[in-house]
Amino acid sequence: MRRRVITFTAVAVAVVIAAVSVTVLRSTPSYRMRAVFASANGLFPGNSVEMLGAPVGVVTDVVNTGDTVLVTMKVQKQFPIPAAVQAALVSPQVLGEPSIELSPGYIGGPTMAPGQTIPESRTMVPVSTDQLLKDVQSFLSQINPQATGDLITNLSQDLTGQGAGLNQLLGNAAGTIQLLAQKGNSLGQLTSSLAQITATLQSRTSTLSNLIRDYNTVSSVVASHQSQLGTAITDLAGATNQLSNFLGPNLVPLENDVAGITQVGRTVSGNLANLDTLLNSTNLLFAAAGRGYDPSHNWLNLNLALPAGANGSLVSGLIRDRLAGICRRLDANHSQGLPAATIQTLVSCGDPNSGFFNPLLAIIPSILDTLTSGPGGGPSATALAALIAKGMTMIPGAADIQAPATAAPPAPTASTTPPAPSLSTPGASQLAPMPPVQSSPSSGGGLGGLFKGLLGGL
């Protein structure tokens, strides 16, 4: 009886304290917020709203909205609520009332504005004892007592006399579990490796299928030709035996030959730079010999002053410079008493860039073809002399100047090389000293010798 009096006294004091707290909370400045719960058994207006066990407000309204319950709360303004707050319905204690617990506590950041609602995804409702008992009763009602009894009887009969075996099985199982626990890291790595291999094989399914198909094809071909393969292997074995019999008595000479070849290879490897220089020099030597030998006359052309590959443009430039020099000397030394038009012509032809001799020089390519395509491939100096003579006729006043007679070239003989004819132009030898053309075998061999004689004569 005494314990009951103490219990009722404690409950009365708790009720008075809750009433005083609710009165105080209702008298302070506050704002409203809502929360959606799946259920709210025993929750009524006036129940406490707490955060971390401390009261921060009261429940003002509880409304059933179909499958959920909308709870309206009044929270004091001095307690900010986090924007991501969660609400839980706390089950009542003995003779107590349920309350709403808000968490977590506010430590900074955004807060819930007045009038906002906590969604059902952030609310929790505990399972009541009545509901738990109902679920257990429903489960037990589904069990067939007769079937359960038969199962227990059968298990008893099966396990009778198997205690030692069961103990040994349990002991081995314990050892196996301990071993697996010790090898946990290795098993994890093995599982990871098997997973990677499986993924690789899955991504290479088509390749593996082709490989197996090709292997089947090869196997069938080998099986169908096994007799031929056997014969080939037998012949190969016989050939190997014959080769062994041949190499046996000749190993020493072969070793000596290999040593000699090795020495030669090392010598060649050590003198690669010298061989490169020799080969390059040989190429240059044969190229020079090709330029110096005239196969049409079977002689060596030693007059190589003019570079190989001289073309009509080079010859035209040289002839233009020579003729322009004649014009300049006529204008400087023999223009006294000449008409003004003639002097002006001499000035024009004395300028290599005036184009005065262009009509004459345009025929040089055809003359060069004549020089290289005449009888026997020899040069025709007469054609060049005619070209120079024609150019002299284009120079005014050059034909009025008398030149000493030039000696006729000697007739060629079978035992001597025909000398190149003199290319001295009539009327031009008295204008200024010019080197005479020297008749020698070197000046008459090849197109280079002809060009040399021509330039010297000009």
Which DSSP symbol is given to 225? T
Pairing of β 117-118 and β 30-37: parallel
Distance set, CA 152 to CA 139, 145, 148, 166, 259 (Å): 19, 11, 6, 17, 93
* Cβ contact 392:326 at 8 Å: yes
Please tell me the pTM assigned to this model: 0.30
In this structure, the number of other CB atoms found within 10 A of the CB of residue 200 comes to 9
Residue 318: per-residue pLDDT: 81
The count of residues in the chain is 458
Q: What is the dihedral of CA 327, 332, 338, 340, to 10 degrees?
A: 80
Residue 307: per-residue pLDDT: 53
Residue 58: per-residue pLDDT: 95
> Within 13 Å and on the Cβ side, how many CA atoms surround 188?
5
- The low-confidence residues of the chain, meaning pLDDT below 70, are 1-28, 92-95, 128-132, 288, 290-292, 294, 297-311, 367-385, 387, 397, 399-458
In the three-class reduction of DSSP (H, G, I as helix; E, B as strand; rest coil), residue 45 is classed as coil
Residue 402: per-residue pLDDT: 47
